[in-house]
Structure formats: structure tokens, C-alpha cells
Amino acid sequence: MTLRVLLIAVLFLGGVVAEEADARSKRVRQVPNGSAASCNTCHTAGGGSPLNPFGIEIVTNFLTEAGPAGDVIWGPELAALDSDGDGASNGAELGDPEGTWVVGDPAPEGNDDGEEEDHGEHGHEGDASLAGKVFNPGDPTSTPPPAPHDETAVEVSTWAQVKQLIGALD
């Protein structure tokens, strides 16, 4: 009798845990290019691990309701934030800088092939091969390079060149 009760309890708890995990896995599809990093978009080491800064931001401020039933509220406000503090907005890292993507739309401009891009510490600044790549908004080492900077007329003026030479002498 005791073994039977224990078996029923284990099966019940297993079903509850599986249902809760399934309820949260839907969130991967509720952010643009979410499948690029899968559960690591919001977690540090896959589903069930602690939340990264982007995941904390979502759970704290961007769910339709608290708990596993809540859906992610993706839009301009969440896209504009820099949850991991790496200098790039969540939207820029997920390929939707304006936050206009909606659930059900095709993935915007990034790779949605299920593989997270690893661009940390490789010196890719200005690398055209990174155009349209997806980065992880919860990982400060997964940061898109800064946008190319076009020099202004003042920066290329003769006076700017003289100031640069004087600065080099110091």
C-alpha cells in the first residue's frame, strides 16, 4: 500500500513539474529570435537554472500574469532596455531594435536556427559578417559590435587633425 501511494505521488509531482516546464518553454517563441539561444535567452544555463538579467526583467516587469501561465509582453519598451548592461538594447541583441515584432511573425533579420551566436571578446567591431546576427540579451559577453561611426566634417577638419597631433605629443 505504501509503495502504491509513493508511486502515485511521484507520478503526480512529475506531471506538475513537466506541465510547469512546458508552460515556460512557450516563452522562447514569445521574443524575437528566442530560439537562437533557447532557454538561455532568459536562464543562465538552460531551463530550470537561475534567471539571467533579461529573464529577471521579463519575470519582474513584462509578463501578462505572474507565474508559468504568464506570457511575455514584447514591444518597444522591453526592446529599448539594456537588461544585461552591455551597452546594446535587448531589441538590438534579438534583431528587433524597435520592438515591432509580434508572436507568429517570422524571426526578424537574425539567425533563428537554434544555435546561439558566440561573439564575445573576438574583436568583431564593424565586421560585416555579423549583420543580422542574434545575440543574447541576458549575457553581457554576447554583445553586438557598435554601429559604424561616420566621421563628421568637424572630426575630419584640419583643426581636428592638428588637435590630434598635439594630443599625440603629450
Span 113-157, pLDDT tens digits: 444 334 333 333 334 444 456 777 877 777 776 666 677 766 667
In a domain, residue 8? The reply is no
How confident is the model over 20-67, as pLDDT tens digits? 444 478 999 999 998 888 899 999 998 889 999 999 999 999 999 999
- Residue 142: alpha-carbon gap to chain centroid: 9
Q: Which residues pair with 72 in a beta bridge?
A: 63
H helix runs in the chain, sequence order: 2-25, 53-61, 76-80, 90-93, 158-169
How large is the average pLDDT for residues 5-27? 55
Residue 81 is part of which domain span? 17-169
In a domain, residue 2? The reply is no
In a domain, residue 136? The reply is yes
Judge whether 50 and 98 are in contact, CB under 8 Å.
no
In a domain, residue 30? The reply is yes
φ, ψ of residue 31 to 5 degrees: the values are -130, 150
In a domain, residue 27? The reply is yes
Number of domains in the chain: 1
- What is the C-alpha separation between 90 and 73, in angstroms, rounded? 13
Judge whether 71 and 27 are in contact, CB under 8 Å.
yes
Higher pLDDT, 17 or 122: 17
- What is the C-alpha separation between 91 and 38, in angstroms, rounded? 16
How confident is the model over 64-106, as pLDDT tens digits? 999 999 999 999 999 999 999 999 999 999 999 999 999 989 9
The pLDDT assigned to 131 comes to: 46
SS3 43: strand
